[in-house]
Amino acid sequence: MKLRVAVLQGGRSGEHEISLRSARAVLDALDREKYEVSEILISKEGRWSPRVIVPEPGANDGIDVVIPMLHGTFGEDGTVQGLLEMAGLPYVGAGVLASSVAMDKEVTKRLCLQQGIPVAECLVVTRDEIEDAPCDSLPFPVFVKPANLGSSVGISKAHDAAQLRESLRLAAQFDTKIVVERGIAGREFECAVLGNEDPEAAMPCEILPSREFYDYADKYLLDQAETVLPAHLDAKQIAEMRRLAVAGYRAVGCEGMARVDFLLEQATGKLFLNEINTIPGFTSISMFPKMWEYCGLPMPKLLDRLIELALERHRTRESLRYSR
């Protein structure tokens, strides 16, 4: 019998359209000889179509495994993962805790620092504090980011105090917690990680933005940014990036998959972990599947592996006792 796979797409976040593009690529790549595939669309208002009634725990209700191709809030932050856990459904990607932790840029930094993983210095500002936030705690330029969002939505670069205020106001439209991060002048890299108990990192790639930084427009609208795969780094640098990618993955408790982003500071040659994305893009320009394809795992095989990892984790969780 074919495995019944449901692909979740859309969602309430600012990355709704990117989710649709990722889901389309996944749907096109799934091997229909192996899988019976269904689509579930979540509208920007949170409506599910076709209408889904969450089954009783342990009853799969026609679904064997779920692929959540949801980016950002209400999809990548542990909320949907919690729903699927309550329903007893296997699903691709990180669990509730890792999804929630990796979504919060400041919490990710704290956990990485505890494991000795270098991250850029930052301060946290709440929405209520933006007009009184200190402007001299970090040297300019700084990056201002909503703590819980992806695809560079709401992110801007501030070169002085006036720009910082404007950047804080922009970020506050997307989150109540804002991260102000020291700007690192250098190169941007991505590294894909795959696995549960024994994760492994792919060959990293370099991102060459066409703008001042790799923002939303550069990622999805302009089609002018360039990528270099494999990244132009020496063997020692590549080994260190892959090591840190796995270390960061483990620090937040990831399972299944993640894309770990890095900055290489030009002045010092120091490598900084920037972010961890637990549901990386799968669009035609997304580098997560391309990095694995370079390593010999094309998209259909990558999806096979992700489904295997989801079922493996589900079997492990089913073996646990939740009552006396």
Reported as a single tens digit per residue, the pLDDT across 114-132 is 999 999 999 999 988 888 8
- Name the residue with higher pLDDT: 5 or 215: 5
Is 56 assigned a catalytic role?
A: no
Is 196 assigned a catalytic role?
A: no
Which residues partner with 187 through β-bridges?
A: 264
Is 277 assigned a catalytic role?
A: yes
pLDDT in the model for residue 151: 56
pLDDT in the model for residue 295: 97
Rounded CA gap, 34 and 64, in Å? 12
Predicted confidence band of residue 217 (pLDDT cuts 50, 70, 90): low
Instruction: Using the Cα atoms of residue 15, residue 21, residue 22 and residue 23 in order, give the sign of their dihedral.
Output: positive
pLDDT in the model for residue 51: 59
Rounded CA gap, 141 and 131, in Å? 18
Predicted confidence band of residue 213 (pLDDT cuts 50, 70, 90): low
Residue 116: how many CB atoms within 10 A of its CB? 9
Q: Could you tell me the CA-to-CA distances from 224 to 26, 207, 309 in Å, in that order? A: 24, 11, 35
Q: Whole-number mean pLDDT of the chain?
A: 90
Is 223 assigned a catalytic role?
A: no
Residue 285: how many CB atoms within 10 A of its CB? 13
* Mean per-residue pLDDT, 197-223: 76
pLDDT tens digits for range 71-93: 988 999 999 999 999 999 999 99
Question: Is residue 97 pLDDT above 60, yes or no?
Answer: yes
Is 220 assigned a catalytic role?
A: yes
The whole model's pTM is what?
0.90
Is 249 assigned a catalytic role?
A: no
Of 272, 297, 312, 304, the residue nearest 202 (C-alpha): 297
The catalytic position among 261, 274, 286, 313 is 261
Question: Is residue 107 pLDDT above 70, yes or no?
Answer: yes
pLDDT in the model for residue 315: 95
Rounded CA gap, 123 and 158, in Å? 14
The catalytic position among 99, 167, 274, 277 is 277
Is 151 assigned a catalytic role?
A: yes
The catalytic position among 220, 242, 255, 286 is 220
Is 317 assigned a catalytic role?
A: no
pLDDT in the model for residue 39: 95
Task: Go through the domains of the chain in sequence order and give each one's CATH number.
Answer: 3-92 (3.40.50.20), 100-118+185-301 (3.30.470.20), 122-182 (3.30.1490.20)
The percent of residues in the chain predicted with pLDDT above 90, rounded, is: 75
The catalytic position among 19, 22, 99, 151 is 151
